[in-house]
């Protein structure tokens, strides 16, 4: 039987969202990128001038915001639309200033608590591909198929840098590399739900693989699942 809940975890820019979106489209499943929720909280904090180091205020903010993730409402290259209290923040949450501090925000236990039940409720509906850092380990340990995508730090930084350049951002490779190194460290050493593969996850190293190759491999796995 085809897996109904598919979890894809791994570090930043390992190819999770590209794979997840394509897989969901192929299977006729919902695509749900949980990272956008942490990004949305971070962006609103920046916009309102709340220091990201202020854990109490950031946690209160996380509980107060209404975040909605939907299928694309505009055909402008987005994989999903993200609304906070009705405002479209889909592109703002991809800004480099969000990249720089989102790991700090997502390490706060209260922030994770605010999002966990929402993520679980959406995921448990099934026929869904859920992408994140802790989906197979914490959010949906009952997922039918767990994939952990990995790649070297340098390769992931190169991919993210190219993405930012394509969107017209003026940023150096070195800066992207440093931001990514920091995020890796914070994401994998935080106390609550640190980034690591679930025991029953299938690990795929995509450093020297193209997206088509990764995609074919996962389709094979689904055939076997
Ligand atoms: O996948 P991304 O780069 O959009 O994720 C943004 C941040 O959110 C990342 O630094 C880690 C965090 N995150 C998380 O802690 N748990 C998730 N399930 C998804 C993302």
Verify whether ligand 1 is closer than 6 Å to residue 43 (CB atom).
no
Distance from the CA of 224 to the center of ligand 1, in angstroms?
A: 29
Cα distance between residue 165 and residue 169, in whole Å = 5
Section 198-207 average pLDDT: 96
Average pLDDT over residues 107-134: 96
pLDDT tens per residue, range 137-195: 999 999 999 999 999 999 999 999 999 899 898 899 999 999 999 989 988 888 888 89
Distance CA 184, CA 210 (A): 22
pLDDT at position 191? 86
Domain span including residue 38: 5-217
* Domain membership flag for residue 223: no
Residue of 31, 109, 118, 132 to mutate, ligand 1, most atoms within 8 A of C-beta: 132
Largest CA distance in the chain: 50
Query: Is 222 within a domain?
Result: no
Q: What is the reported pLDDT for 96?
A: 86
The per-residue pLDDT for 224 is 57
Distance (Å) from CA 213 to ligand 1 centroid: 24
Report d(CA 133, CA 154) in Å as an integer.
Answer: 19
The strand order across the sheet containing 87-88 reads 67-70, 81-84, 87-88
Which tens digit of pLDDT belongs to each residue from 9-65?
999 999 999 999 999 999 999 999 999 999 999 999 999 999 999 999 999 999 999
* Over residues 202-216, mean pLDDT: 95
List beta partners, residue 203.
148
CB atoms within 10 A of CB 40: 27
Ligand 1 neighbourhood includes 102 CB (under 6 angstroms): yes
Confidence at residue 187, expressed as pLDDT on a 0 to 100 scale: 87
77 assigned to some structural domain? yes
CB 183 less than 6 A from any atom of ligand 1: yes
**Mean pLDDT (the chain, rounded):** 94
Q: What is the dihedral of CA 171, 176, 177, 179, to 10 degrees?
A: 130
Residue 103 Cβ contacting ligand 1 at under 6 Å: yes
* CB hemisphere CA count around 213 (13 angstroms): 8
- The pLDDT of residue 6 is 98
Domain membership of residue 154 (yes or no) is: yes
Give the total number of structural domains in the chain.
1
Predicted local confidence at residue 89, as pLDDT: 98
Shortest-distance Cα residue to atom 8 of ligand 1: 35
Predicted confidence band of residue 1 (pLDDT cuts 50, 70, 90): confident
β pairing state of 202-205 and 145-150:
parallel
CATH of the domain at 55: 3.40.50.300
Taking the model in full, what pTM does it have? 0.92
Half-sphere exposure for 23 (CA within 13 Å, toward CB): 35
Please tell me the residue having the least CA distance from ligand 1 atom 10. 103
Q: Kindly state if the Cβ of 20 falls inside 6 Å of ligand 1.
A: no
The reply to whether 224 falls in a domain is no
> Residue 76 above 80 pLDDT?
yes
């Amino acid at each position: 039987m085809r897996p109904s809940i598919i979890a894809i975890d791994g570090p930043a820019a390992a190819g999770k969202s590209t794979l997840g979106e394509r897989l969901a489209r192929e299977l006729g499943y919902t695509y749900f990128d949980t990272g956008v929720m942490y990004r949305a909280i971070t962006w609103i904090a920046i916009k309102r001038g709340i220091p990201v180091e202020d854990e109490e205020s950031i946690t209160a903010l996380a509980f107060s915001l209404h975040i909605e993730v939907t299928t694309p409402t505009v055909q402008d290259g987005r994989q999903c639309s993200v609304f906070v209290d009705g405002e479209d923040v889909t592109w703002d949450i991809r800004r480099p200033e969000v990249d720089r501090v989102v790991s700090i925000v997502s390490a706060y236990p209260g922030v994770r608590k605010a999002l966990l039940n929402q993520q679980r409720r959406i995921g448990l509906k099934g026929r869904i591909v859920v992408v994140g850092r802790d989906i197979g380990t914490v959010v949906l340990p009952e997922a039918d198929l767990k994939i952990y995508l990995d790649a070297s730090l340098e390769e992931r930084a190169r991919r993210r840098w190219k993405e930012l350049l394509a969107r017209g951002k003026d940023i150096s490779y070195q800066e992207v590399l440093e931001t990514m190194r920091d995020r890796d460290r914070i994401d994998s050493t935080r106390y609550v739900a640190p980034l690591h593969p679930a025991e029953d996850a299938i690990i795929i190293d995509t450093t020297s693989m193209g997206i088509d190759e990764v995609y074919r491999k996962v389709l094979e796995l689904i055939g076997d699942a």
